[in-house]
Amino acid sequence: MRDFAIPDSTETEAPAAGTGLRMRVAHLLAAVGGALLAWLALTYAVSCATLYFGLGVSALTAPVCLLAMPLAAYAIVAGDGVRRVWLTMLACVLASALIGGAGWQASRAYDHSWDGASYHQEAIIQMAEAWADFPAPLPTTVRYGDWIDTYAKGPWVIAASLYKATGSLESALLMQGVFACIGLLLLASALLRCAAFPVWAVPLLALPAAFNPVTIYQSLSFYIDGQMTSLLVALVGVGLWLLTAPRRWQLVLVAALIVLAINVKQTGIAFAGLLLLAVLFCLWRLRREWFRRTFIACAIGGVLGGLAFGYSPYVLNTLKHGHPFYPILGNGDFDIAQGQRPPGFDERNRFSRLLVSSFSAPTLAKQAAAEWRLPFAWRADDAARYRGADVRIGGWGIWFSGALVLAVVGLLGLRRVAGAPRIVGGAVLVALLAATAINPEAWWARYHPLWFFVPVVIAGMLLCAHQRSARLLGAMVAAVLLANSLLVAAYYYPQQHQLSEFQRQYLAELRAAGYPIVVWFGAFPSNRIRLRDAGIAYYEVNDAARLPCTQPQRIFAHEGLYCMVAR
């Protein structure tokens, strides 16, 4: 492990010259990430408890749970006495600044995504305002009630708590940014702990890993795949900490991440499970004395996540429908890809679909055909398609295919990577490929965001090589991935803010008109909250044909028509 872990002042071996600052920064970043994770995890735990006991979601939960941040930071930061207190205070200030920045970004946006504005927002509203007998089934009059009853509820519970605390549904989107920051901080801090990993390459690799395309283009929506990806990045980061400088606080973070990953999405169980198997394998090889403790932490997290906090949906789904993953499996046997695959994809096997999607132009439309693109070749309108939260073909970014080709070439250089970096990187790479093999819809980026991390892991291994040529190739792969994420962000955020500003002005004009409206919400009944918050009086009809004018006007991005009512 000498080539992998840098000893700090708490270990028997003195740290090498020049590593003191690196270690302090690593502990500080971990403390900030741990503080943010403690806040969201405790908010989720307390909100679940109040829901299960029939008390609903409280507006005080999220603010009060901020008190967990200094406790978590103090447990993580290294040192003692006054220095430890100062580092704890600095970590809390930085964590608070990140929360404020994420909240400011969220407050400027409206969620215009299809799933976000349909059942995700509806679930959050029900959690915050109407689900008094949770976890009993919602009334049949609630739109999407069956989905809300049977899907994982972690993000909805946290968002409902933030919604109650801020009074703004849009402000609840801040959790997307906070989750991404958690992944960035825990991964970057762990890479700083790796002796073989160059300091200059830490942001080069950690930034595209944490702010990958799926996380970016879902960051201003209530889609949950980006959240799950951030949790998996954080899980790998904590796993690296366990391999380089194991401490008890890391076991607590592992358990918390497992609980959240299980309750973000059902596929989180499979993805997190495979990555945890990789971590446990590496611990068995490199840190056997910590294998048993980590396994127990994983088991505790799994039991709490699946049986306690995940009572709804996993236990209830098993009791009522015969399978914890209903409606995807069991009596439901719901095919998520039915009618969703692009033309010609039904005839291909899963690996062929993945290959085509990886080397094709991005598409948003359901029936858009695959259009091949050579690596690094793209057109101006390609990047503009990353404006939505559900990019289908080519959803891993414009230059992902180029990074993938460079990474495949880099496989030849992995023989120059020896020792612990080769074991750890190889184990994680096998886990990623296994997750790809078992996923029949791996071509669809949001259903398989882990495919993006194959070149990330290869780049990380190459950057740990002793030979300069291998490190250079690893840096090239990481740089391409970073540029790929920046391109997606450069097109996604301006378009989202422009659309949100248009929506804000439109609602302001309706309010200024002073007339009530008759509205049909279509597939997006949760948009009633936006009219209510904007101070617009409205009457709802359940059929567009019942609108009292011959030329109703569109009010929201996808569906939603209204007629002005004269007084």
* Three-state helix/strand/coil letters over 309-343: CCHHHHHHHHHHHCCCCCCCCCCCCCCCCCCCCCC
**pLDDT value of residue 520:** 96
**pLDDT value of residue 383:** 83
Q: How confident is the model at residue 11 (pLDDT cuts 50, 70, 90)?
A: very low
**pLDDT value of residue 214:** 98
CA angle 532–535–541, rounded 5-degree value: 50
Of 436, 465, 495, the residue at which a domain comes to its end is 495
**pLDDT value of residue 567:** 59
- One domain for residues 462 and 525: no
Per the structure block, which two tokens stand in for 132? 């008094």
In a domain, 501, yes or no: no
Give the residue from 351, 390, 344 showing the smallest Cα distance to 371: 344
- One domain for residues 200 and 278: yes
What are the strands of the beta sheet with 538-540, ordered from one edge? 538-540, 517-520, 561-564, 553-554
Q: How confident is the model at residue 17 (pLDDT cuts 50, 70, 90)?
A: very low
User: SS3 of 543, please?
Assistant: coil
pTM across the whole model:
0.95
In a domain, 377, yes or no: yes
Q: Is the pLDDT of residue 479 over 80?
A: yes
CA distances from 443 to 210, 324, 352, 396 (A): 21, 25, 9, 10
DSSP 564: E
In a domain, 557, yes or no: yes
Average pLDDT, the chain: 92
As a whole number of angstroms, the distance between CA 333 and CA 326 comes to 7
Q: Are 474 and 396 in contact (CB under 8 A)?
A: no
- One domain for residues 411 and 559: no
- One domain for residues 96 and 176: yes
As a whole number of angstroms, the distance between CA 179 and CA 230 comes to 6
Q: How confident is the model at residue 144 (pLDDT cuts 50, 70, 90)?
A: very high
Q: Are 96 and 125 in contact (CB under 8 A)?
A: no
- One domain for residues 454 and 544: no
Per-residue pLDDT averaged across 321-337, rounded?
79
**Domain range holding 82?**
20-495
Alpha-carbon dihedral sign for residues 437, 443, 445, 446: negative
Per-residue pLDDT averaged across 93-116, rounded?
95
Per-residue pLDDT averaged across 55-69, rounded?
97
* Cα-based torsion angle of the residue sequence 237, 241, 243, 244 in order, rounded to the nearest 10 degrees: 130
> Which range, 6-10, 258-262, 266-270, has the best average confidence (pLDDT)?
258-262
Beta-bridge partner residues of 554? 561
Per the structure block, which two tokens stand in for 302? 């799994």
In a domain, 114, yes or no: yes
As a whole number of angstroms, the distance between CA 514 and CA 344 comes to 51
- One domain for residues 443 and 550: no
Alpha-carbon dihedral sign for residues 401, 363, 502, 220: negative
**pLDDT value of residue 8:** 56
> What is the tally of structural domains in the chain?
2
In a domain, 503, yes or no: no
Of 449, 468, 495, the residue at which a domain comes to its end is 495
As a whole number of angstroms, the distance between CA 140 and CA 148 comes to 11
As a whole number of angstroms, the distance between CA 46 and CA 65 comes to 8
Q: Are 294 and 282 in contact (CB under 8 A)?
A: no
- The residue ranking higher by pLDDT, 143 or 83, is 143
- One domain for residues 153 and 86: yes
As a whole number of angstroms, the distance between CA 192 and CA 211 comes to 18
Q: Is the pLDDT of residue 130 over 70?
A: yes
pLDDT over 70, % of the chain: 95
In a domain, 507, yes or no: no
Q: How confident is the model at residue 79 (pLDDT cuts 50, 70, 90)?
A: low
Give the residue from 411, 409, 403 showing the smallest Cα distance to 486: 403
In a domain, 343, yes or no: yes
- One domain for residues 321 and 390: yes
Lowest mean pLDDT among 28-32, 279-283, 475-479, 499-503: 499-503
Give the residue from 230, 232, 233, 202 showing the smallest Cα distance to 216: 230
In a domain, 504, yes or no: no
Q: Is the pLDDT of residue 13 over 50?
A: no
pLDDT digits (tens, 9 = 90+) for 504-548: 999 999 999 889 999 999 999 999 999 999 999 999 999 999 999
- One domain for residues 547 and 460: no
**pLDDT value of residue 376:** 93
CA angle 120–207–190, rounded 5-degree value: 105
- One domain for residues 543 and 487: no
Q: Is the pLDDT of residue 192 over 80?
A: yes
Query: Beta strand 538-540 with 517-520: parallel, antiparallel or unpaired?
Result: parallel
Lowest mean pLDDT among 1-5, 298-302, 439-443, 491-495: 1-5
- One domain for residues 488 and 521: no
- One domain for residues 313 and 262: yes
Per the structure block, which two tokens stand in for 122? 């509806």
